[in-house]
A and B are shown apart, each in its own frame.
Chain A
Amino acid sequence: MKNFLRRYRYSVILLRELVRTDFRLRYQGSALGYLWSLLRPLFLFIILYLVFARFLKIGRAIPYYPVYLLLGIVLWNYFVEVTTGSVGAIVGKGELLRKINFPKYVIIFASSFSALINLALNFVVIGIFMAISHVVPTFGALAMAPLVLELFIVSIGAAFFLSALYVKFRDVSYIWDVIIQAGFYATPILYVLSQVPHQYARFMILNPLAQIIQDARYVLVTHQTTTIYQVYNDDRLIWVIPVGITLAIAVLAGLYFRSQSRKFAEEV
C-alpha cells in the first residue's frame, strides 16, 4: 500500500484537491449550499411519490414502491452524472492541459468521486425514507458494497471512453444525450420488470445498470424485486455477463483513454 501510494502520490494529491475544488465551487453563491445535495433528492422523491405512487399507481404490486423507485433513480442518476459530466471534462480542462503535464485520468476520477460523494448524500435521504416507510434492512444490505463498486466501475469506464472520444468528435455529447434518454426507458427504473414480457426482460437485465439497480432494490428494499437471478431461473452464473460487460467496458475504455491521453494537450 505504501509503495502504491508513493507511486501514485501525485495523482492522489491532485485527485483530492480537484474533488475538493469541485465541491467548493458547486454550491458557491447559493444560500443553502451543501444542503442542496440533500434537498434535491428529497424534492425528487416527493415528485416521484405523487406522480407514480399516488396518481398513476404503477408500483401497486411492489411493497415500499416509493423507496424502491427512489433507489433506482438515485443509482441511475449517479451513472448520468458521471458520464455526462465527463464527456466534456477533458476538453473543459484544455487550458490546464496545455500548461502542465499531469496524469489525465485524474480528471475523470475526480468527477467520479465528486459524484460518489453525492451518491452517499443521496443514500442518507434514502435511509431516512426507509426508516419512515419501516423498511428494515437485513444483512443482505452489505451486498450494496460490491454493487456500488460495480456501478462505479461501469460509470468510470463509460466516462473514460466518452471523454477521450469527445476530444476527437464533438458530436459525442449530443449522441450521448440521446443514449441516456433511451437508456432511462430501457432500464427498469420507473416500471416494474416483472411486467415486461420475458423475451425482452432477459436482454434488458443483462445491461449492467439494470442488473445493479434490481439487485440493489432486492437487497435493500424488498425481495419482491425481479433480479437477473430470477429472470434466468436461479442460475448464479448469469452474473458473469453483466459483471463481465462492466469489466470489459472499464478495461477497453481505460486502454483507449491511455492511448489517446498523450495527445490530449494538442488536440483539445
Chain B
Amino acid sequence: MDSDIAIRVEHLSKDFVLPHEKITSIKSAFTHVNRLGKSRRVRETQHALKDVSLEIKKGEFFGIVGRNGSGKSTLLKILAGIYQPTKGKVTVDGKLVPFIELGVGFNPELTGRENVYLNGAMMGFSRKEVSAMYDDIVEFAELERFMDQKLKNYSSGMQVRLAFSMATRAKADILLVDEVLAVGDADFQRKCFTYFYELKLQKKTVVFVSHDMDAIREYCDQAALIEENCMVDVGKTSKIAEGYAKLFNSKAPVALKQGDETDRWGNGDLKIEKMAVDVNDESITIHHTIVASRDTVDPIIGFRIRNSEGRSVLGTNTKVEEQSVGVIKSGEKLSVAWRFDNVLSDGRYFVDPAIVARDGITVMDWWDGAIAFDARRGRHLPYDVDLVYVLKHEREKAV
C-alpha cells in the first residue's frame, strides 16, 4: 500500500440476508432441513453496498454523502470493522477508532463520572489514563457540577457534550464521524468546528458522514456520493455536493405535503381551499385559493414561512402591504398570489397562510404548515453577493 493512503476500499460489496428469512428457532431449522431436498429455499438478500472502491489519503477529510438508506452507515461500519465485507477488501494503514458514534456504552444508570471511565475503557484508556485527563474532559464539557449525577438526569445536550468531550480524546490516526453536527446548539457546533480544525492541523484522517452539505463543504477535501447502494461519484467536495442536491431536485415535487387539520382554526367565513408554491432559482410564488361562505369586507390575507426548525423566516399580509381586498360575496372564490426573490438557503420550509377579519382580531382561517416546499439549489450562498472592495492598509510607521 502506498504510504500516503490511509484507507483503501477495493470492490467492496455487502449483502444482508433479510430478517424474515432468518432461521431463529430450532423448529424452523428442522423444517428447512426437511425442505432442503424438495423445494428451493428463496434466499432473499439485500445488497447494502455494491462494488464500492475508493481511496482516502492520509490527512484528508473525506465526506460520504447520500440519502437515508443509501448505504453510507454500512460503509462506515465496515471501515470500523463492525461489519465484515461480503466481497472485496478494506485495507487500513494507521490506528483507527473502533466506534462510529459518540458516547458508546453510556449507561443512564451510572453517574457522569462513572460513564467517563466506562466510555474511556471503550476507547482503550485505562483508569489511570482517564484519571489523568478527567478534569480536562469535564471542563471541556462544562459539566463540573453534574458529574456525580446519574446520566439519565442529564439533558440530551449535556449528554452530547460529555460524549463529544470524550471523543476529542480519542488517540487514533483515522476517525470515523457519523452525523455529529446534527445535534447540539450553536455553542456546541462552534466547539465541533474548532475540534475539526485542530484535527486538520494535526493531519488526522477523518471520514465524515453527513446530510449537511454546508458542513461537508466546510470541512471536507474530498467526498463520495452514494446512491442506491452504489458509489456514483467521488471527487472534489463542491462537485459531490452539487450532485447530492440534484438527487432531490429531480425527484422532489414542489409541494410535498398538505398539513393536517389539527393545526388549523378560525370561524370559516373565509376558508383557504388550496395552497400552492412555485419555486425556481430566481423567485418563490405562493398561491392561495380562498372560498367565502359569508359576505366579507376587506379581510386581511397573509402568510408566514417557517424553516425546518420552526423559526419564522419571512411573512407579510395585505394590511402590511397596504392592499385592499374589497368586498367578497358568499360563494365567491378568490385567488391571491405572492412573489418574492428566492433568497432562501437550502432546506425545507413550511407555509402558514392566514385570513383575519378587518378588525385584525377575528381569525377566519389560520392554517399552520398548510404546505411544505424545498429550496435546494446546491449553492453555498443562495443569492448574489458583490465583493465591494479589498483594501490593504499601509502599516503605520513608527514615529
Contact = CB atoms under 8 A, between A and B. Distances in A.
Contact of B83 (A14, A100, A265): A265
Interface in B4-51: 16, 22-27, 29
A96 interface: yes
Contacts of B124: 9-10, 13
A13 B101 contact: no
B104 A99 contact: yes
Nearest to A25: B109
A168 B23 contact: yes
B197 to A, nearest CB: 26
Of the listed residues A13, A18, A24, the one surrounded by the most CB atoms of chain B closer than 10 A to its CB is A13
B107 A25 contact: yes
Interface in B110-137: 110, 114, 117-118, 120-122, 124-127
A24 B114 contact: yes
B83 A266 contact: yes
Contacts of B109: 25, 28
Interface string A111-153: 0000000000000000000000000000000000000000000
Given A24-B110, A169-B24, A13 B126 contact: yes
Interface residues of A, number: 28
Chain A contact residues: helix, strand, loop or mixed = helix
B97 to A, nearest CB: 9
Contacts of B22: 267
A263 interface: yes
A175 B126 CA distance: 39
A168 B109 CA distance: 30
A17 B121 contact: yes
Given A25-B110, A263-B84, A265-B82, A102 B23 contact: no
A204 interface: no
A170 interface: yes
B105 A100 contact: yes
Contacts of B101: 99-100
B382 interface: no
Interface residues of B, number: 33
A199 B178 CA distance: 64
B24 A100 contact: no
A69 B99 CA distance: 48
Contact of B110 (A16, A21, A170): A21
A61 B16 CA distance: 62
B272 interface: no
Contacts of B117: 17
A263 B78 CA distance: 12
Nearest to B125: A13
Interface in A205-263: 262-263
B7 to A, nearest CB: 15
B80 interface: yes
B84 A100 contact: no
B157 interface: no
A27 to B, nearest CB: 12
Contacts of B177: none
A5 to B, nearest CB: 11
A101 B81 contact: yes
B221 to A, nearest CB: 26
Contact of B122 (A16, A24, A102, A267): A102
23 contacts: A13-B124, A13-B126, A14-B121, A17-B117, A17-B122, A25-B107, A25-B109, A25-B110, A99-B100, A100-B82, A100-B101, A100-B122, A101-B81, A101-B99, A102-B98, A102-B122, A168-B24, A169-B23, A175-B26, A262-B84, A265-B77, A265-B83, A266-B83
Lowest 4 CB-CB distances: which A-B pairs, in order?
A17-B121, A101-B81, A100-B99, A101-B98
Given A17-B121, A266-B16, 7 more contacts: A16-B127, A18-B121, A100-B80, A102-B98, A169-B24, A170-B24, A262-B84
Interface of A: 9-10, 13-14, 16-18, 21, 24-25, 28, 96-102, 168-171, 175, 262-263, 265-267
